[in-house]
Structure 1
């Protein structure tokens, strides 16, 4: 892992997990239930109970809505996306920072690395959160999240990673992604970017290892020390 980080000229962060716990005060099962209800009560959604996934992950409800052409054509899928964006933006000021995340991004920036966010969350939510941590300037125009315009392209689609490589002027072999989910690893592989998994608990670690992650950490402190062995953390 130290070699991967040492070689990286640019580090791409997933947002919810490696940077913060976005929904600490707004449980995701309740958000998923609200999105599900919005679909189920729409008269043109058909027998939504047969195709909506049984999940507490709001992003999976959103993904399912965009897979129904009739919902995309009518604008309901986009309405669901806007509703989720509103939830994320409202949650951002109360998001709980991941331990050592602020130290890590500042250390990476101080050692000359470029930084970018590559996330399935909305760009507006990321920007609002970073403002609260006073780290937004470290990412500048390199926040690549879900947009309210155009098609929905969520990881494991590597689209946001490819946009980050473009915005930073970095080749894939010079970049590293830090993510906490199998879909992050899959996107990194598709983009040709090295990957370090952040696993806040053993369950997450098992999921990442099962997906093929070779390098995982349970604390970003390990990454800080890999960047700067003399750091007092």
Structure 2
């Protein structure tokens, strides 16, 4: 779905109409965090750091080639869950994310949609696998932090609670006092979709290209937009 036909627009309208609370994934729907600071480079740096400490053997050859630094974290955590090593790796990733936040690219229409949704009375929260500190830093720089604060829920050192686990979504729902059926999550990965399903919320897929849209649809997403512009139009026209 690209929300271009009447039927697609109506499906989007129905999805939005049920939402009193909007749970945003961060990297993707709000911004491209690693647009100017490659996530693949960060993953390689984490592998190099492990190698320098004689810990490279914790990773399989396939894991060493990971493009997503979260994959490195998960791999090490599977062997040493909750360890000091995981705490240090997680902090190193957070440091890199904070650096990346200064050069992140805003997702087109995201700033306006966030402000509009808040203005019509919806409650907003961030539910992300990135560090909450990173999300706060970016949102502060865009003047968007008041639209969310204090409801920003990010990665903890208990990596088993990363999405697709619904932990961050459940935190947000509890904090704002909302039932799952009153909430809509906006995400760009199957893990976002699965977390929303497990939490019992609605799901709106955002995909900035056709290949990402296909991945979301294959995972079971029924409403996927390639731009936030049609979402903004619906919110502006319905006041929801």
Would the TM-score normalized by the shorter structure come out above 0.5? yes
- Tell me how far apart the structure 2 counterparts of residues 199 and 24 of structure 1 sit (CA, whole Å): 15
Residue range with higher mean Cα deviation, 180-189 or 20-29: 20-29
Residue range with higher mean Cα deviation, 162-171 or 50-59: 50-59
From 223, 227, 231, the equivalent of 2:231 is 223
Deviations 1:84-142 (A, max 9, x none): 00000111122110000001111110111000000000011000000111010110110
The gaps in structure 2 that reach 5 residues or longer are: 1-11
How many angstroms does 1:51 deviate by? Answer: 7.0
Equivalent residue runs for 1:203-214 within 5 Å: 203-214=211-222
2:43 equivalent to 1:32: yes
Work out whether residues 185 and 204 of structure 2, in 8 Å CA contact, stay in contact via their aligned partners in 1.
yes
Matching residue of 2:143: 134
2:103 equivalent to 1:106: no
How many angstroms does 1:43 deviate by? Answer: 3.0
2:127 equivalent to 1:118: yes
The gaps in structure 1 that reach 5 residues or longer are: none
Aligned residues: 228
Work out whether residues 132 and 152 of structure 2, in 8 Å CA contact, stay in contact via their aligned partners in 1.
yes
Distance 1:158 1:47, change over 3 A: closer
Work out whether residues 123 and 143 of structure 1, in 8 Å CA contact, stay in contact via their aligned partners in 2.
yes
Distance 1:47 1:124, change over 3 A: closer
**TM-align CA RMSD:** 1.7
- Tell me how far apart the structure 1 counterparts of residues 72 and 206 of structure 2 sit (CA, whole Å): 24
Structure 1 runs of 4+ aligned residues shifted over 4 Å read none
